Structure 1
Amino acid sequence: MYGGAPGWKFDYYSYEAYRRKYQDDIREVPRVTLMSLDQEELNRYVELLKRGKQRLATLDNESIYELMSIKRGEKVTLSATLLFSPYPQAYFPQLCITAIVIPGRTIGSLGDMGERFSDNQRIEGTIPEMLDEALLFVKRNMRTKTIISPTTGRRTDRTDYPITAVREAIINALVHRDYSIHTEGMPIQLIMFEDRIEIHNPGGLYGRITIDQLGKIQPDTRNPVLASALETLGIIENRYSGIPTIRMEMEKYNLRQPEFLDERGSFIVKLYKESKNDYEDMSNDEETNNLIVFCKTPRTRKEICDYLGLNSVTYAIQTYVNPLVEAGVIKLSIPDKPKSPKQLYYSGEREK
């Protein structure tokens, strides 16, 4: 999508890593010492281990550090660095998430002021911190609709995407990305388009599993120590339920099923916000119904943008108005010139 992709050396390494069972999540990080880790978080993790694993309860902390791959000899491991360092990006600047919002449906789309990104953030910190920050980024860049049930009249608030599905997609990327030296210069990419979210995860699929088998069979685990630690910390279940959960949550929202792609050394998840029946959902949306009423008087782009309380005219028209135009609910005053600066948008019959 943007940025580079691993080359043939990575392809060869990835094959060998699986065949020989390399564990990049516990490779040593020379510059990190045990004392440079967040001692409070490290101690909390050890206490959770002792409470949850009876065989560890009587061991001293040093023994647990070695046994659970927090360190190897005198060197701290990559997993421990990503979980307990005050700032892991001091050692691995690109083991982060780059998050952007595109004002359109393709990379290169520009906003009203010529901006390439409506929002742009480099998300850093430990894995739990990056997960939380990434979710906040998504939440602030999607709308919440009030849906009115046509049968009961009950009002419920609903975001563009199910948060549980978004969370699973992000944590899957953080846990299952490739952490070898071949991809440590590549961040996870979180891209929000007008119609979808894409998450690009360096490394591609691991082991024998294929795209068609995702969520149907137990996959090989690329980073088993990291996954186990995150399970202990209560961040993940580590029961291979991520992909099925994403699919079920999208189904509950009546949205298109997610797309999963494995290409050029990258695993990509695409979550679409279009419904299986867009107009049926729109007709039950209070905000949409209010907009239709507002447009009973022909309105300019700017008037609609101001009414919706948005800053971007392009975003307002593409996200809120165009779906209603396609459904035939809102009409154009100059239909043969849809981009005319004199264009007006109206619902119902236009007054002569």
Structure 2
Amino acid sequence: MTEEELLEKLEFVQEMKCETRTLELKSAATSCPKRLYDTLSSFSNQDDGGVIIFGVSEEEGYKEVGVYDPHDIQKKINEQCLQMEPKVRPLLTVVMKDGKTFVSAEIPGIDLAERPCHYQGKGRLKSSYIRVGDSDEPMTEYEIYSYEAYRKKYQDDIRVVNRVSFSALNRDLLESYVKELKNGRPNLSQIQDDDIYELMSIRRDGEITLSAALIFSPYPQAYFPQLCITAVVVPGMEMGDTGESGERFVDNQRIEGNISDLLDGAIRFVKKNMGVKTVIDPDTGRREDQPEYPITAVREAVLNALVHRDYSIHTEGQFIQLLMFSNRMEIRNPGGLYGRIRVDQLGKVQPDTRNPVLTSILESLHITENRYSGIPTIRREMARADLPEPEFIDDRGSFLVKLYKGGRPTENKAQFDEFENSLIVFCKTPRTRREICDFLGLSSVTYVIKRHVTPLVKRGLIKLSIPEKPTSPKQLYYSE
């Protein structure tokens, strides 16, 4: 960054009196901090990197203390950066202010294929960090594995399941699959079925694969008890709420079977437990039943969870959750977004595929289209039903879809006015996107800005600190 930008950062710190997801403060009044490894790792492991500013003491109320020696501290910062794997290449900036010297180190985010960045002295499992709010948190073993799985292109959907025999598969369904494969493929039609099983990863070296077990076995839970869907109806808006009789769940079901059974069972559960209202078409006078949730959107959300969940040994003990609250439905699956795609890109760019063989088989059986149309379909169906936009959250090893019915609780007029006012008051001090997100208790920054902040900006109730660059990562939101 330029000297001018560093001075602006220092002013920002004095205004906000806090660190952020991309900003770390170090005192360094007498020496260089000896442990930068955690922050170097966490900043390197996020797309937009981060900035460490030396010369501000958080312990002394964010007092500007300056650094002890600008030349020596740069040398020692570089020394620690060279002990990271892969090596960190910081961009250092020095500036004078009020007779004191300040140093900043911009840490670039490294490519996904090189993550996780870690301190060589402790190894990858003990020194890989991720930034959560303004703190550096150790990565879980699964988070570390997920980077390795992407980098090495592990195919967990075709790992061998020794306990499954070929005779345990549904032969009729298997024959239908092979018939669909051969249809319109004359070259494939010449190959014997046994060879096709190997070629298409139904078997590997004579052993049944996980995808084959999940799709063609009548009861995969005999081998993997937790590869199922747990579905509950909660009598309130949060887990733990109870009904009038003290009941925690209105309905509670464990849905089992192969992937097709899981999908059908989830749809039946939702239909059974959601309300249906009757509306009269003012033009035709006809009565029409309108469900609380569009079934097509629900089907796509459940199918996405089944197709794109993580099937590695790290998550085979975790199930998909379907939770129905009084104001929304949540569908959570193990395994966050795979590869390079971000939440704000869902439905707009072609993603990497975590389970290519599983997806291909389901496409041949006409269970899924495999055209990356699931997210756009969910959005379209919710909009068509005049319901709030769905919320998609990538949350440290899991992926969550939220579908709201009939508007969120805050959309009651009196409640909504109170909600707006609290957000406007909060922004009397300029706030970052993440701070607003944390204030509202939500996870998705994209959703919060689009759903709650942008409408207030359009009405002139909240302003942008950089109006000419609405998407700037340095953007602050404030009210007058």
**TM-score normalised by L of structure 2:** 0.56
Distance apart, 1:156 and its partner CA: 1.3
CA shift at 1:42, angstroms? Answer: 1.1
Aligned residue pairs total: 275
> 1:52: Cα distance to partner?
4.4
1:100 is aligned, of 232, 238, 242, to: 232
Q: What one-letter code is carried by the residue in structure 2 that aligns with 1:62?
A: D
Shift of 1:276: 8.9
2:280 and 2:287 in contact (8 A); partners too: yes
Structure 1 or 2, whichever has the larger Rg, is 2
1:169 maps to 301
Q: Which residue of structure 2 lines up, in the alignment, with residue 38 of structure 1?
A: 170
Unpaired segments ≥5 residues, structure 2: 1-138, 412-480
Cα distance between partner residues in 2 of 1:278 and 1:49: 51
What is residue 245 of structure 1 aligned with on the other side? 377
Q: What is the Cα deviation at residue 198 of structure 1?
A: 0.1
Question: 1:121: which partner in 2?
Answer: 253
Partner in structure 2 of residue 320 of structure 1:
none
> Take 1:277 and 1:187, find their aligned partners in 2: how far apart are those partners?
29
Provide the C-alpha distance between the structure 1 equivalents of 2:319 and 2:296, rounded to a whole number of angstroms: 22
Q: How far apart, in 2, do the equivalents of 1:45 and 1:103 lie?
A: 42
Residue 278 of structure 2 aligns to a residue in which SS?
strand
Residue matched to 1:145: 277
Q: Any conservation in 1 of the 2:143–2:396 contact (CA below 8 Å)?
A: no
2:336 corresponds, among 190, 199, 204, to 204
**Does the residue aligned with 1:248 lie in a helix, a strand or coil?**
helix
Matches within 5 A, 1:1-352: 8-275=140-407
Q: Which residue of 2 aligns with 1:307?
A: none
Identity fraction in percent: 64
Indicate conservation of the 8 Å contact 2:198/2:206, yes or no. Answer: no
Contact between 2:324 and 2:330, CA under 8 Å: does it hold in 1? yes
Q: 1:189 to 1:276 in 2, by over 3 A?
A: closer
Amino acid at match of 2:295: I
Q: Which amino acid aligns with 1:27?
A: R
Higher normalized contact order (CA 8 Å, seq sep 6+, divided by chain length): 1
What is the CA RMSD across the aligned residues, in angstroms? 1.9
Letter matched to residue 109 of structure 1: D
Deviation at 1:264, TM superposition (A): 2.5
Distance in 2, Cα, partners of 1:62 & 1:271: 44
- Letter of the 1:170 counterpart: V
CA distance in 1, matches of 2:353, 2:144: 18
Asked if structure 2 preserves the Cα contact closer than 8 Å seen for 1:37 and 1:85, the reply is yes
Which residue identity does 1:263 align to in structure 2?
Answer: D
User: Contact conserved, 1:11 with 1:265, CA < 8 A, in 2?
Assistant: yes
CA–CA separation in structure 2 for the residues paired with 1:277 and 1:81: 42
In structure 2, distance between residues paired with 1:269 and 1:177:
13
Give the Å deviation of 1:121.
0.4
Task: Give the aligned residue type for 2:327.
Answer: D
Using the TM superposition, give the Cα deviation of residue 207 of structure 1 relative to its aligned residue in structure 2, in angstroms. Answer: 0.3
Query: TM-score normalised to the size of structure 1?
Result: 0.75
Equivalent residues of 1:255, 1:276 under 8 A apart: no
AA aligned opposite 1:256: P
2:183 partner SS: helix
**Is this contact kept in 2: 1:254–1:276, CA < 8 A?**
no
In 1, Cα distance between equivalents of 2:219 and 2:251: 23
Per-residue CA deviations over 1:173-200 (Å, capped at 9, x if unaligned) read 0000000000000000000000110000
Q: How much does 1:275 deviate?
A: 4.2
TM-superposed CA distance for 1:149, in Å, is 2.5
Structure 1 portions without partners, runs of 5+: 1-6, 280-352
Aligned residue identity for 1:97: I
Cα distance change, pair 115–53 in 1 and its aligned pair in 2 (3 A): farther
* SS of equivalent to 1:29: coil
**Structure 2 counterpart of 1:144, one-letter code:** V
Partner amino acid, structure 2, of 1:182: H
